[in-house]
């Protein structure tokens, strides 16, 4: 069987999740290759060595440039803060490596488009870390929409709420664009934009409001007062969207939602039925069909198992978590490499999500509806 050797850059939160996921991916299904966790790169020799040992990598390094030039490495996996993503990804693609990059591939959609083209020119497989969408319940919802069982898409309502803003270190890399922060819209909103476009197709226009927390966490800073002016970023946002197919969407994100740990939620309505998903009950999809006996109308709860796309277990209710769903994304990535196809979601899709993020920020700044650039053709 083919062996794929991975070099991981950045062994923090996501480096840990990816390390677990690579271990699970080839065990849980036949993905056509074995995966070897070859090198872990981090900022200092001590940190890199400690993380490599703990997370199960064969060796460690502090030099990502040397890593991407190594002929024996097949995959470069980028888990650094976003400010380093594009530079590493361009170098990896130029060296002919397949690249998995955490979101955002860059905070600049023009650069994302150039990166996408560079990867296409190099003929390498790319994938971005929109991991939540790989939950079997979401894949099932996508299939219900794609097969027409929910009818014509009408309305999509989503929110992504966390409480991580309260008391957070103001100097963390997530807190400013200069250090790679994407704001709540880009950092967590990108996941629900990804899900919306997975299910309803592309968003074509948006209108929005965003807010930044005032110093001292006493309330929102004056409108427009802090977002971007001093390098700070949005902590909260709401936006309306119109999809290219005419469906409507409404979205809310916040890093200041007390009690909300990681609440990713959506509802989607079609002419024949609706679905409801909550990441905090991620194995379940609630489904309601219009064409139901009058005395049975309402939502039923589907507990996903291996009858559903991407599901691993025959028995539902065993518990499927963050590492497993991360592993599902690597199963698809490795399959795409082995089969010589394109992965999904790839850098082209990441570029479009970034364009939506930028349109939301521009709509909030201009107090108007803003068109989203149409998705690039692949060439």
Question: Binding residues for ligand SOE, per CB under 6 A?
Answer: 162, 164, 187-188, 262
From the number of C-beta atoms within 10 Å of its C-beta (0-12, 13-18, 19+), residue 147 rates as: exposed
Is the alpha carbon torsion for 112, 91, 175, 22 positive or negative?
positive
Helix, strand and coil in the chain, % to nearest 5: 35, 25, 40
Q: Cα–chain-centroid distance for residue 80?
A: 15
From the number of C-beta atoms within 10 Å of its C-beta (0-12, 13-18, 19+), residue 121 rates as: exposed
Q: Which is nearer to ligand NAI, 41 or 137 (CB)?
A: 41
How far, in Å, CA of 82 to CA of 85, rounded?
5
| Site mask for ligand NAI (CB under 6 A), range 184-203, x = bound | ---x----------------
Q: Which does 162 bind (CB under 5 to 8 A by kind): ligand SOE, ligand NAI, none?
A: ligand SOE
- Applying CB under 6 A, among 75, 79, 89, 115 the residue interacting with ligand NAI is 79
At 263, is the secondary structure helix, strand, or coil?
Answer: strand
Our finding on whether 330 is near ligand NAI (CB under 6 A) is: no
Q: Which does 14 bind (CB under 5 to 8 A by kind): ligand SOE, ligand NAI, none?
A: ligand NAI
Our finding on whether 111 is near ligand NAI (CB under 6 A) is: no
Closest separation in Å from C-beta 129 to ligand NAI: 4
Closest separation in Å from C-beta 367 to ligand SOE: 28
Q: Which is nearer to ligand SOE, 184 or 336 (CB)?
A: 184
How far, in Å, CA of 220 to CA of 223, rounded?
8
How far, in Å, CA of 217 to CA of 185, rounded?
19
Closest separation in Å from C-beta 139 to ligand SOE: 18
Q: Which does 282 bind (CB under 5 to 8 A by kind): ligand SOE, ligand NAI, none?
A: none
Our finding on whether 43 is near ligand NAI (CB under 6 A) is: yes
Our finding on whether 32 is near ligand NAI (CB under 6 A) is: no
Task: Give CA separation, 245 vs 64, 157, 200, in Å.
Answer: 43, 16, 8
Tokens 């194995």 — which residue?
Answer: 283
Choices 10-18, 240-248, 293-301, 334-342; region in contact with ligand NAI by CB under 6 A? 10-18
Tokens 């870390």 — which residue?
Answer: 129
Which of 48, 67, 93 has the alpha carbon at shortest distance from 6?
A: 67
Our finding on whether 10 is near ligand NAI (CB under 6 A) is: yes
- Applying CB under 6 A, among 21, 35, 55, 64 the residue interacting with ligand NAI is 64
How far, in Å, CA of 164 to CA of 207, rounded?
26
Closest separation in Å from C-beta 125 to ligand NAI: 18
- Applying CB under 6 A, among 37, 98, 103, 232 the residue interacting with ligand NAI is 103
Our finding on whether 333 is near ligand NAI (CB under 6 A) is: no
Return the structure tokens found at 122.
């190099």
Tokens 């890399």 — which residue?
Answer: 173
Our finding on whether 82 is near ligand NAI (CB under 6 A) is: yes
Neighbours of 24 (CB within 10 A): 17
Choices 8-16, 137-145, 240-248, 327-335; region in contact with ligand NAI by CB under 6 A? 8-16
- Applying CB under 6 A, among 42, 74, 235, 358 the residue interacting with ligand NAI is 42
Q: Yes or no: say if 306 and 188 are a contact pair by the CB < 8 Å rule.
A: no
Q: Which does 79 bind (CB under 5 to 8 A by kind): ligand SOE, ligand NAI, none?
A: ligand NAI
């Amino acid at each position: 069987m083919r062996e794929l050797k991975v070099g991981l850059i950045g062994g923090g939160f996501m480096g840990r999740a990816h390390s677990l996921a690579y271990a699970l991916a080839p065990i849980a299904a036949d993905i056509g290759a074995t995966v070897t966790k070859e090198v872990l790169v981090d900022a200092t020799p001590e940190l890199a060595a400690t993380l490599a040992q703990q997370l199960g990598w064969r060796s460690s390094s502090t030099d990502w440039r040397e890593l991407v030039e190594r002929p024996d490495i097949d995959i470069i996996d980028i888990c650094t803060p976003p400010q380093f993503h594009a530079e590493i990804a361009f170098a990896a693609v130029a060296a002919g490596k397949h690249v998995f990059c955490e979101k955002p591939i860059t905070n600049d959609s023009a650069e994302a488009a150039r990166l996408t083209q560079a990867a296409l020119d190099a003929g390498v497989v790319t994938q971005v870390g929109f991991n939540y969408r790989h939950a079997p319940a979401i894949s099932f919802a996508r299939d219900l929409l794609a097969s027409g069982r929910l009818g014509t898409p009408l309305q999509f309502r989503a929110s992504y709420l966390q409480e991580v803003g309260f008391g957070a270190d103001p100097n963390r890399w997530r807190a400013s664009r200069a250090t790679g922060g994407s704001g709540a819209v880009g950092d967590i909103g990108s996941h629900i934009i990804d899900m919306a476009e997975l299910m309803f197709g592309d968003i074509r226009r948006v209108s929005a409001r965003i807010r930044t927390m005032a110093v001292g966490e006493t309330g929102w800073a004056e409108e427009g007062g802090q977002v971007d002016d001093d390098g700070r970023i949005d902590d909260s946002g709401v936006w309306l969207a119109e999809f290219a197919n005419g469906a409507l969407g409404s979205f809310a994100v916040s890093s200041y939602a007390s009690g909300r740990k990681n609440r990713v939620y959506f509802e989607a309505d079609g002419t024949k039925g609706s679905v409801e998903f909550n990441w905090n009950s991620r194995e379940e999809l609630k489904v309601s069909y219009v064409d139901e006996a009058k005395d049975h109308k309402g939502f039923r709860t589907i507990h996903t198992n291996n009858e559903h796309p991407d599901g691993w277990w025959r028995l539902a209710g065993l518990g499927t978590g963050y590492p497993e769903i991360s592993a599902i994304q690597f199963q698809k990535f490795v399959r795409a490499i082995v089969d010589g196809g394109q992965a999904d979601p790839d850098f082209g899709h990441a570029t479009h999500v970034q364009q939506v993020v930028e349109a939301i920020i521009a709509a909030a700044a201009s107090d108007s509806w803003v068109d989203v650039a149409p998705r690039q053709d692949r060439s």
